[in-house]
Structure 1
Amino acid sequence: MRIGIKSAIAAAAGLAGVAALVRVGTDLSSAMGASTTAIVPHAKGSARYRGKRFHNTEPSSQFVTTGPSIVTSFLTRGRLGRPRSPIPLATPLAPARPAELAVTWYGHSSALIEIDGHRVLTDPVWSQRVSPSRLIGPARLHPTPVGIEALPQIDAVVVSHDHYDHLDKTTVMALVRTQRAPFVVPKGIGAHLRHWGVPDDRIVELDWDEQATVGALTLTCTEARHFSGRGLVRNPTLWSSWVIAGPQRTVFFGGDTGYTPRFAEIGTRHGPFDLTLLPVGAYDEHWPDIHMNPEEAVRMHADLNRGEPGSGVLVPVHWATFNLAFHPWAEPVTRLLAAAGEVDTKVSVPMPGQRIDVLRPASQRQWWLRLA
């Protein structure tokens, strides 16, 4: 009898384990998004789409075998990319009426832009890890400054590309429940959104140089130099930067990109910009084509402003929140400020959760220094 009970318990445990594995597998598959087959109908027709893949205008390598091996970098970095103590958070402020020009940085590339009485949320990621798994993958270095349900009403959500640190299933599903705003995304990403249950009437997919109108804003999908993919298949969806133009003000969101002279062309067509949000972190000598360094961000700001580095304000993004490369935690901002100082580029570095009124900026507090 005891043997029978033990066998039953063992069988039940085994079934529970199998069920748990099935759930994990199902969760992973869902988080990874749509299949390549589902993406193709929404991607084909783009001039950038050939052979079931999107392509950069300039030839670009995702990985370069130079310097120390990637294995050596992993084994020797230790806590290099982590702060010495907890990252401070600001209490986010959300005025009843959006400002003429302001930005609240939530960490990494997630920011809330206020422009000409509208609010635009960029690359929203509220999950603990940027991975299809809730157990493994790069984890947050600081909490989210505000719960996603506490965000004010948003007019549009823009996404730069489908990597996990820029497109997050859990966050998308929360925004579907709590907001009414459309998701304005590059070609192919709509397939992921549909896979997660986002209604068709809330999805706007654009190719480079195509536009959508939201209220009084014009959102233009512009070129970036990067790549895409949430699994083993590379470049099934398009990547982009964004021009957000209102009646009075214009903002550029860089998403995630390597440097390219094409940004000067964007500046000629759409600039100058009152505000640029540019990626400054996760650079490395192993991937120089697809992640620009801080000095290139300063150069890019000047390109976007028709060769005038002192025009507009640069706010750095894509740093501090996730440890995705091998540089010291505060190095992106240290290098950025040094390069900006040489050409009189105005830079504002918010702490996570901090709102900056671009037209009436407060004095800069160097909050990152004691963490470096």
Structure 2
Amino acid sequence: MPFLRRTATVTATAALLGGASWVARAAWGLPVALGAGRRQLRPTVAGSPQFSDGKFHNSMPTPAMSPANARDGLLRQWHEDRHKGLPGGPIPVVSPELPADAGELAVTWFGHSSALLEVDGHRVLLDPVWGHRVSPSPTFGPTRLHEPPAPLESLPPVDAVLISHDHYDHLDLPTVRGLTRTQTAPFVVPLGIGAHLRGWGVPEDRIVELDWDGATTVAGLTLTCTEARHFSGRFFTRDTTLWSSWVVAGPRHRVFFGGDTGYTPAFAGIGARLGPFDLALQPVGAYNDAWHAIHMDPEEAVRAHGDLGGKVLMPIHWATFNLAFHRWAEPVQRLLTAAAARDVQVVVPRPGERVDVLAPPPLEDWWTEVGSAEDAAGGDLAPETGLVTAVASRAYRGLTSRRR
């Protein structure tokens, strides 16, 4: 395997330079964490309409990175703005209070895109990531900005585990192994991800792989794999597994889970076929002009919510990992401004907090006190960010007064 040969070469060179132990720590476990290779994946995915020329494709042209921003501008941002996404203080983490029996419609957010749904008396775990670092290496890569709100072993039995795609901040090897040991639920995943899971010890009878528009029924819930606009990959090779959003539909309630996606007109079609939705979990963070096609910004999340026919909107894909160059609290501040303009009901739980979607509490601003590390250090707000903060504050007060 070329990667193994490269790793061996780097390790041998480092040994000559006296740095073998450091490189060995960085490379430890890499081949396993990377998941299945192209040869293992191809037989399981080649029949998909989304798969051609050796990889999966979005239904519309989708550059992973804008050429105009992929050069000096992005390098400058990395140099100047990489610390903006750090919080200015401790992120308040709540110890989850989960009922013995699943409720009619509730959600507990564990940070980033990880959440536990309760739909019509059943539980579905979404993109669970309990690992400390979203990277194949124990030494390199983004680390958590807050601890998991509860140990993985403390979760109640779930009926299904849904995965949106195979990026490290959505598919985490230690978490998969933990759930394989502590739960009996199936992993319901987009095409190709099953090969990763098999290599990590998940039994074949606990893996359900679906293409876009494919569905399966688990414990009375219909789980439908729906289109997203993104990409996949755990190393240099990309798009060898499928990415998706998900619809969780019970006899009485419906939930949309965006996972990680850019804006796409396909949301309107999903809403027409499978909506409307009582709750939509939409990604709002890690946006940047350089990769605008594959990550929604907060305003697009509100637009997608309308396309889907969503009622209550909960932001995900923010707060837990520093993956972009915007300030830590900015995604929610911008989201509230956009939501107020369209009179969209928003819930913003703390990590670990459970929300009864049928009787959501009034918005409580806990993110402003946390703030951004740059602000806490006395850095000047960019004029446009200051404006966003001020407008979002007014929008928050307006939404709160209307909900009371």
- 1:82 aligns with 86
- 2:32 aligns with 30
Distance 2:191 2:176 in 1: 17
| Aligned-pair CA distance for 1:41 | 1.1
Distance 2:368 2:35 in 1: 39
- 1:252 aligns with 256
The answer to whether the 8 A contact 1:62-1:287 is kept is yes
Match of residue 263, structure 1, among 252, 259, 267: 267
| Aligned-pair CA distance for 1:191 | 0.2
Distance 1:78 1:223 in 2: 31
Distance 2:181 2:201 in 1: 11
The answer to whether the 8 A contact 2:162-2:188 is kept is yes
- What per-residue deviation string (whole Å, max 9, x for no partner) do you get for residues 68-112 of structure 1? 611100100153111110100111011011000000000000000
Please report the RMSD computed on the Cα atoms of aligned residues, expressed in angstroms: 1.7
Amino acid at match of 1:234: R
- What per-residue deviation string (whole Å, max 9, x for no partner) do you get for residues 226-263 of structure 1? 00000100100000000000000000000000001110
- 1:243 aligns with 247
- What per-residue deviation string (whole Å, max 9, x for no partner) do you get for residues 164-194 of structure 1? 0000010000000000000000000000000
- 2:356 aligns with 357
- 2:278 aligns with 274
- 1:191 aligns with 195
Distance 1:29 1:20 in 2: 17
| Aligned-pair CA distance for 1:23 | 7.5
Query: What SS does the corresponding residue of 1:76 show, helix, strand or coil?
Result: helix
Greater shift in the superposed pair: 238-247 or 79-88? 79-88
Query: What SS does the corresponding residue of 1:286 show, helix, strand or coil?
Result: helix
Amino acid at match of 2:264: T
- 1:117 aligns with 121
- What per-residue deviation string (whole Å, max 9, x for no partner) do you get for residues 264-304 of structure 1? 00000001000000000000000110001000000000000
Distance 1:140 1:153 in 2: 25
Greater shift in the superposed pair: 167-176 or 74-83? 74-83
Distance 2:89 2:202 in 1: 39
- 1:315 aligns with 314
The answer to whether the 8 A contact 2:82-2:325 is kept is no
Distance 2:28 2:326 in 1: 35
Distance 2:45 2:55 in 1: 9
Match of residue 293, structure 2, among 282, 289, 304: 289
Change (3 A) 1:259 1:49: same
Amino acid at match of 2:124: V
| Aligned-pair CA distance for 1:24 | 5.8
The answer to whether the 8 A contact 1:66-1:285 is kept is no
| Aligned-pair CA distance for 1:371 | 1.4
Q: Which runs of 5+ in 1 are unaligned?
A: 1-13, 306-310
Which TM-score applies when normalising by structure 2?
0.85
* Superposition pairs of residues 6-21 of structure 1, within 5 angstroms: none
| Aligned-pair CA distance for 1:141 | 0.6
- 1:234 aligns with 238
Distance 2:148 2:130 in 1: 6
* Superposition pairs of residues 131-210 of structure 1, within 5 angstroms: 131-210=135-214
Query: What SS does the corresponding residue of 2:222 show, helix, strand or coil?
Result: strand
| Aligned-pair CA distance for 1:21 | 6.1
* Superposition pairs of residues 46-65 of structure 1, within 5 angstroms: 46-65=48-67
Query: What SS does the corresponding residue of 1:191 show, helix, strand or coil?
Result: helix
Which TM-score applies when normalising by structure 1?
0.92
Point out the structure with the larger helix share. 2
Query: What SS does the corresponding residue of 2:223 show, helix, strand or coil?
Result: strand
Distance 2:158 2:21 in 1: 39
Query: What SS does the corresponding residue of 2:256 show, helix, strand or coil?
Result: strand
The answer to whether the 8 A contact 2:220-2:250 is kept is yes
Query: What SS does the corresponding residue of 2:63 show, helix, strand or coil?
Result: coil
Tell whether 2:346 aligns with 1:347. yes
Amino acid at match of 1:148: L
Overall identity of the aligned pairs, in %: 58
Greater shift in the superposed pair: 91-100 or 70-79? 70-79
Match of residue 129, structure 1, among 128, 133, 145: 133
Amino acid at match of 2:30: L
| Structure 1 residue ranges, 4+ long, deviating more than 2 angstroms after superposition | 17-26, 65-68
- What per-residue deviation string (whole Å, max 9, x for no partner) do you get for residues 18-71 of structure 1? 799668645011001111111111111000000110000001000013356111
- What per-residue deviation string (whole Å, max 9, x for no partner) do you get for residues 346-365 of structure 1? 00001100000001112221
Amino acid at match of 2:203: P
- 1:337 aligns with 336
Query: What SS does the corresponding residue of 2:108 show, helix, strand or coil?
Result: strand
Amino acid at match of 2:140: I
Change (3 A) 1:251 1:65: same
Query: What SS does the corresponding residue of 1:91 show, helix, strand or coil?
Result: coil
Change (3 A) 1:27 1:274: same
Q: Which runs of 5+ in 2 are unaligned?
A: 1-14, 372-404
Match of residue 41, structure 2, among 36, 39, 42: 39
